[in-house]
Amino acid sequence: MARSLAEAVPAPQFPAGFTLRPVAGENEVEAVVALHQDAFGTRNMTRDGRLSILRNPEYVPELDLLLVAPDGTLAAFCYCTIPKEANAQSGRNEGEIAIIGTGKAYQNRGLGRAMVLAGLQSLKQFGIETATLGTSSENVKAQAVFAAAGFHIVYKTLWYSKSV
């Protein structure tokens, strides 16, 4: 999916008392991993995996966003990237919403859409012209959130798998 950032990006609307901020570096890795695992109900994100993101030479801390509830609980996240090498090769100026999620206790409150908009605004502040992202065709809820934020389907990939 893709969305032009030449168009206005609506301001994200967060509930009263919620605070948007960047991830506080490696000191916060365990909490961010726990939020990711809670949001998706999997153990696919690990401490080592999250550390590799933070240590990537293209990592931009201002594009790794957290939403904090009034009680200090991490509620949602949106990690964006700017693939400089791929942009240089393609001649494009794209950024990606790489990972986005909302903790189970905070779902169905509009926080996902607000985090998408916050990510888009951050990419736009870095001069990015087009935002991209990918999601499963089975994730209808996420597709609706992304479409509401102005994304449209650019292409589809068909995956085949076989249990062994």
What domains are defined for the chain? Answer: 2-148 (3.40.630.30)
Supply the pTM of this predicted model.
0.92
Mean pLDDT over 34-39 rounds to 97
Mean pLDDT over 63-88 rounds to 97
Average pLDDT, the chain: 95
Say if residue 157's pLDDT is above 90.
no
CA distance 55 to 8: 32
Say if residue 160's pLDDT is above 90.
no
* Cβ atoms 44, 94 nearer than 8 A: no
Mean pLDDT over 9-34 rounds to 96
User: DSSP labels for 79-130?
Assistant: EEE--HHHHHHHT--EEEEEEEEE-GGGTTSSHHHHHHHHHHHHHHHTT-SE
Report residue 112's pLDDT band, with 50, 70 and 90 as the boundaries.
very high
Q: Tokens standing for 153?
A: 């389907």
> What number of other Cβ atoms are within 10 A of residue 72's Cβ?
7
Question: In the prediction, which pLDDT does 138 show?
Answer: 86
CA distance 46 to 54: 13
Q: Which residues contact 164 (CB under 8 A, 6 or more apart)?
A: none
Residue type, 137: S
